């Protein structure tokens, strides 16, 4: 699988990347065509006002200069009109520029929203293996930088690069026709030197930008990972160890920033030198022609003004180009995420799962996370509709893997899994998971209120349904003791609640979901004896109306199961009811006796 970290190793953004960007942005631009068209008209109006300013200054200066030389006096009214026109042109340039940004801002915001949602949905569609290996902090930064890069690319490519190139062509043409080829050649030569230097230097320093981004993602990942595991850090008094590892990441980030800053200094210095030499040559030539009476003072002002107007955006164009190169690198990483394909995907002809009795069947299922270490070996069993089947065995025997395969987080290497005779690979994953309610061993909660965490089992559920679920999970008494009741915030990953309290929230969620298939994965491992008995009673009530699969470690919780499957080294070695398995005096019986001795000693 191609990881998102690998996407930063490309030498430079390719033409193919630009085409991919266009394909993703074209629908947004078409949808907002009236705004885009209005923004482009405002752009033309702003540039028109800007190109008019030098001519107004020339006329104003020549009029004043003529008057002071004793020649025909320019009427005061005309002077006043020129001044007002100059002010109007300045205002028009600013006003239409602001209108352009305001109109197009909506388009860029919509593009960021659409792309951000697309990435969010895509990441959720990726398989469990990707999420086990991903770096949460780095992934978040890659998404943030990529969507910001799209915004920057839209705004500055359309409204800075293209207009600046248009302005360069206009200024070169005006100088060519009004003042001769030398002025136009200086402009063209300066722009070519500036562009060539900027492109070469920016390509050279792109690797420093990539190194800086990778170091930024790495340090952010380190910080997020450490904070998410706050309690573990405290258990092992590893605060200084974590601080040192974070500082190592920050040191790499600091060095990358330093290299980036030094390369930026070299780039800015070279660009400034080209601009200074060009302006000096242009103004020197104009000053000489004024002294030779080949050009008026107004013409000198016009040339000077055009040079200022030309090189100000040209200097900014260098910044824009650098940022666009950086943005393209960030967008490339974002698109690397979007182009990841889940290893478990719906068949193009997948249909909705149709639930009848909700019978589950594993047929000769074999599975391995690593080909060298098989986890399940030709496992076959059936859970009839309404039946409660428990799976027991030592750690690593493959119990939890059965659940992951049932949810289709992975597909078996051989064999098949079916519900009511429908192969899970032939039905949509959404309809499959909608039919199963899960109570995990470690119920991870959102940093939201207790009530919203329970309601997560079915967001559209009524308050009465939530109350019933709370009663079934025996949470009512606990909630009554909380000052804020259901509005109590549970903290990051539910850290404000005990393990048993979190498990009961998980049970309430499962009750609220009310799916035809129930799966309990060590769902009472964190409960005290009193709570466990109460919850087991709730389990018994739920199981009578649902097909139930229980992954159990504490055998006392599944003595009432219709059937118990005993897994050992990925194979079913025994199965039957609790009493029958004890009479067989086999693997299950030894597990039972070992737990009984442990309970009696504790």
Query: In terms of pLDDT, which residue wins out, 485 or 16?
Result: 485
pLDDT in tens, 522-558: 766 656 666 666 666 666 666 667 898 998 887 888 8
Residue 49 has pLDDT above 60, yes or no: yes
Segment 21-40 mean pLDDT = 82
The CA distance from 45 to 252, in Å, is: 47
The number of domains in the chain is 2
pLDDT band at residue 353 using 50, 70 and 90 as cut-offs: very high
Residue 368, Ramachandran bin (φ over 0: left; ψ between -120 and 50: alpha; else beta): beta
Largest interatomic CA distance in the chain: 127
What are the residues facing 348 on neighbouring strands? none
> For residue 180, what are the domain limits?
4-338
Residue 70 has pLDDT above 50, yes or no: no
Rounded to 5 degrees, what angle do the CA atoms 573, 575, 576 make?
A: 155
Same domain, 137 and 9: yes
Residue 13 has pLDDT above 60, yes or no: no
pLDDT in tens, 148-183: 788 777 777 777 777 777 778 888 888 888 888 888
What are the residues facing 574 on neighbouring strands? 566
Residues of the chain with pLDDT > 90, as a percent, come to: 13
What are the residues facing 572 on neighbouring strands? 567
Check: CB of residue 160 under 8 Å from CB of residue 320. Answer: yes
Instruction: Give residues with Cβ within 8 angstroms of 371, minimum separation 6.
Output: none
Same domain, 318 and 461: no
pLDDT band at residue 8 using 50, 70 and 90 as cut-offs: very low
Least-confidence region, from 19-28, 315-324, 503-512: 315-324
Picking from 419, 299, 274, the residue whose alpha carbon sits closest to that of residue 360 is 419
Picking from 121, 123, 131, 135, the residue whose alpha carbon sits closest to that of residue 337 is 123
Rounded to 5 degrees, what angle do the CA atoms 484, 489, 494 make?
A: 135
Cα atoms in the 13 Å half-sphere on the side-chain side of 285: 18
Highest-confidence range of 41-45, 189-193, 332-336, 429-433, by mean pLDDT?
429-433
Q: What is the CATH number of the domain that holds 402?
A: 3.40.50.300
Residue 377 has pLDDT above 80, yes or no: yes
Same domain, 329 and 410: no
DSSP-assigned letters across all residues of 184-208: HHHHHHHHHHHHHHHHHHHHHHHHH
Q: What is the CATH number of the domain that holds 78?
A: 1.20.1560.10
Same domain, 271 and 149: yes
Check: CB of residue 401 under 8 Å from CB of residue 370. Answer: no
The CA distance from 209 to 198, in Å, is: 15
pLDDT in tens, 443-458: 888 888 888 888 888 8
What are the residues facing 360 on neighbouring strands? 383, 419
CB count within 10 Å of CB 24 equals: 17
Same domain, 58 and 108: yes
Same domain, 384 and 311: no
What pTM did the predictor assign?
0.65
pLDDT of residue 316: 67
pLDDT in tens, 487-499: 888 877 777 887 7
Same domain, 364 and 334: no
Picking from 275, 43, 273, the residue whose alpha carbon sits closest to that of residue 167 is 43
Residue 1 has pLDDT above 70, yes or no: no
């Amino acid at each position: 699988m191609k990881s998102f970290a690998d996407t930063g190793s490309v030498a430079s953004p390719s033409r193919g990347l630009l085409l991919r960007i266009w394909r993703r942005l074209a629908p947004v631009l078409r949808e907002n065509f009236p705004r885009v068209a209005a923004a482009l008209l405002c752009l033309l109006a702003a540039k028109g006002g800007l190109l008019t300013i030098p001519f107004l200054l020339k006329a104003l200066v020549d009029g004043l200069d003529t008057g002071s030389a004793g020649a025909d006096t320019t009427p005061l009214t005309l002077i006043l009109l020129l001044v007002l026109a100059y002010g109007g042109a300045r205002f028009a340039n600013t006003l239409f520029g602001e209108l352009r940004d305001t109109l197009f801002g909506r388009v860029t915001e919509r593009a960021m929203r659409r792309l951000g949602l697309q990435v969010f949905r895509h990441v959720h569609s990726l398989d469990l293996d990707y999420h086990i290996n991903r770096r949460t902090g780095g992934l978040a930064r890659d998404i943030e930088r990529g969507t910001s890069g799209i915004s920057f690319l839209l705004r500055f490519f359309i409204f800075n690069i293209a207009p600046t190139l248009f302005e360069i062509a206009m200024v070169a043409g005006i100088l060519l026709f009004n003042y001769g080829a030398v002025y136009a050649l200086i402009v063209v030569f300066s722009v070519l030197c500036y562009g060539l230097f900027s492109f070469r230097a920016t390509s050279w320093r792109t690797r420093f930008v990539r190194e800086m981004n990778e170091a930024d993602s790495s340090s952010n990942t380190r910080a997020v990972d450490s904070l998410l595991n706050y309690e573990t850090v405290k258990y092992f008094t590893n605060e200084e160890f974590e601080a040192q590892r974070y500082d190592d990441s920050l040191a790499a980030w600091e060095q990358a920033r330093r290299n980036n800053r030094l390369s930026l200094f070299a780039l800015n210095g070279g660009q400034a030198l080209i601009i200074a030499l060009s302006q000096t040559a242009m103004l020197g030539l104009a000053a000489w022609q004024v002294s030779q009476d080949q050009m008026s003072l107004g013409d000198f002002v016009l040339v000077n003004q055009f040079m200022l107007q030309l090189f100000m955006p040209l200097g900014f164009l260098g910044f824009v180009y650098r940022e666009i190169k950086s943005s393209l690198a960030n967008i490339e990483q974002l698109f690397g995420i979007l182009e990841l394909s889940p290893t478990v995907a719906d068949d193009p002809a997948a249909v909705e799962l149709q639930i009848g009795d909700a019978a589950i069947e594993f047929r000769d299922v074999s599975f391995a996370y690593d080909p060298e270490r098989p986890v399940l070996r030709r496992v076959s069993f059936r859970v009839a509709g309404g039946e409660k089947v428990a799976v027991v065995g030592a750690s690593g025997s493959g119990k939890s893997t059965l659940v992951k395969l049932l949810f289709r987080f992975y597909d078996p290497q051989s064999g098949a899994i079916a519900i009511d005779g429908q192969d899970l690979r032939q039905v949509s994953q959404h309809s499959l998971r909608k039919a199963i309610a899960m109570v995990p061993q470690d119920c991870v909660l959102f940093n939201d209120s207790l009530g919203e965490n329970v309601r997560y089992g079915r967001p559209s559920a009524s308050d009465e349904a939530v109350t019933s679920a709370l009663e079934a999970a025996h949470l009512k008494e606990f909630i009554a003791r909380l000052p804020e009741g259901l509005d109590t915030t549970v903290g990051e990953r539910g850290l404000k609640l005990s393990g048993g309290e979190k498990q009961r929230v998980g049970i309430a969620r499962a009750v609220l979901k009310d799916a035809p298939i129930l799966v309990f994965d060590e769902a009472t491992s964190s409960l005290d004896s009193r709570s466990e008995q109460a919850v087991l009673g709730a389990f018994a009530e739920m199981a009578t109306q649902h097909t139930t699969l229980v992954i159990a470690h504490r055998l006392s919780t599944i003595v009432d199961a219709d059937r118990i499957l005993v897994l050992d080294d990925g194979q079913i070695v025994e199965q039957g009811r609790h009493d029958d398995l004890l009479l067989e005096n086999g693997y299950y019986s030894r597990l039972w006796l070992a737990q009984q001795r442990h309970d009696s000693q504790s």
